[in-house]
Structure formats: C-alpha cells, structure tokens
Amino acid sequence: MNTCPVCGYEGLELPYTEDGNICSSCGTEFGYDDLLNSREELRRRWLQAGAVWWDATMPRPADWSVDHLVRQLRNVGYQLASTERMAIEAERLNNTQLAELPSMLKYPVEVTHRD
C-alpha cells in the first residue's frame, strides 16, 4: 500500500506516480488533478468540502472520525487547523449525523412529573 501525498491516506494500491491512480479518500486522480492543481490546493478544497470519503464503491475506514483524519494528515506533514476542524465537524453533522439522530431527539417526548 502507498500513501496519498494530498490527504495522507495509506491505502493507495498503486504509487501516486502511476497516472490514473485515484485516491479513495480524497478522490485525487494522479496524473490529472495534480497536474492542474498543487497538492496543497487539492488538500485545501477537500478539507473545505468536509473531507468526505470519496470512493463510494469502497468502504471507508471503520474509524473515519476527525481524530482519524488528523492522524492521516500527519502522514503528509499537515496539521489540521482548529478552524478547519470545526468546519469539518459542522459539515459532517449537517450531512450525516442529522439523519442518524434517534427520533426521540428530533421529537422530544414530554416528561410528566409524578409526586
């Protein structure tokens, strides 16, 4: 396995120097995206969009938390800024967790008190 130079994902099947290799994590297509944009720019865009797992045909890592992302980015020497972290957490909450909230949280039950 090889490491993606954009997002630090360690599961690339081929080295990123192979054209057409696409990172399952950030979706960078090597030999195309990285010719048009710097790695920093690709990383910035991916983070800004909420650092979403890109490859729908491949299961994302079981631990795809923001803490996992912080560790993954260290592979490429990138430290997630606290403002980026907050933006990613908010984006994830909007996109996924809202739909997963238990219905009782969405429709609070009235609590009656008995003496």
Q: Which residue has the tokens 């729908």?
A: 56
Q: Supply the minimum distance, in Å, between the C-beta of residue 9 and Zn ion.
A: 5
Q: Give the C-alpha separation, 110 to 115, whole Å.
A: 16
51 forms part of the interface with Zn ion (CB under 5 A): no
Cα 73 to Cα 6, 51, 70, 97, distances in angstroms: 8, 11, 5, 23
What part of residues 8-47 is at the interface with Zn ion (CB under 5 A)? 9, 23, 25-26
Q: Supply the minimum distance, in Å, between the C-beta of residue 27 and Zn ion.
A: 7
User: What are the residues binding Zn ion (CB under 5 A)?
Assistant: 4, 6-7, 9, 23, 25-26
